[in-house]
Amino acid sequence: MAVPAFLLCLLGLSHHLALVLGNSSGAPESACAWMSPWHEPYTEAQAGPPPYSFRIYETDFLAGSQVAESFSGFMIQAHDGSGKVTGTWPSSQLTSAAQPMTCESQNDTVTHVSSALKQVVPLKWQAPLDFEGDVVFKAAVVKDYTTFWTDVTSETFTLRVP
C-alpha cells in the first residue's frame, strides 16, 4: 500500500530583508520541548499573526509562487489530532536547506541547516504507515536573532489508509 509523501513549503509573504544572527546549524535538541528558539538573552515570540504560512501540496511544488519575506531559521513538526508528533522527514527527501532532527522519535522534526536567508524551503514529509486521522504542521520561524514566531500552524488535513 502506498503512503503519500507530502511536499510542504514554508513561505514568506511580504517584502523585507534583515540581518541574520541565528543558530546557524539548526535548532538544538532543547528546542523540541517548546518549539521555540530560546536565544540568549531570552526574547519573547512576536505577538500577532506571523508573516509566514504553509502551503501543502500532495506531490508537486507550484512554480512561480510570489514570496518575499525572508527568514533565517525554522523548526517544523507534524502533529496528529491529539497533539502527538507524527511521521518523519526522510533526509533523502530534503533539500540542502533542511535537515531532520530527533525530538520524540527518529527524524520526527525538520530544521534549517544554516542561517542563510531563505524565502521558500520545499520539504517532503513521510506519513506513518498505520495512521488515519487529522494532521497539522506546527513550526517556529526565526526572522532574525530576536524576531521569531512560534505556533505557526498549517491548515488541518486528513490522512486515510487506502
pLDDT of residue 4: 46
Fold adopted by 5-159: Immunoglobulin-like (2.60.40)
Half-sphere exposure of 98 (CA within 13 A, CB side): 28
What is the pLDDT confidence band of residue 29, given thresholds at 50, 70 and 90?
confident
> 98-101 and 109-112: which strand pairing?
antiparallel
pLDDT of residue 87: 94
Output 157 or 63, whichever has higher pLDDT: 157
pLDDT of residue 114: 93
pLDDT of residue 24: 60
Residue 31 host element (H or E)? none
Output 46 or 41, whichever has higher pLDDT: 46
C-alpha span between 9 and 1 (Å, rounded): 26
Residue 93 backbone phi and psi in degrees, to 5 = -105, 5
- Range with top average pLDDT, 5-14, 31-40, 59-68, 111-120: 111-120
Stated pTM of the model? 0.68
Render pLDDT for 81-137 as a digit per residue (tens, 0 to 9): 999 999 999 999 888 999 999 999 999 999 999 999 988 888 889 988 888 899 999
pLDDT of residue 65: 44
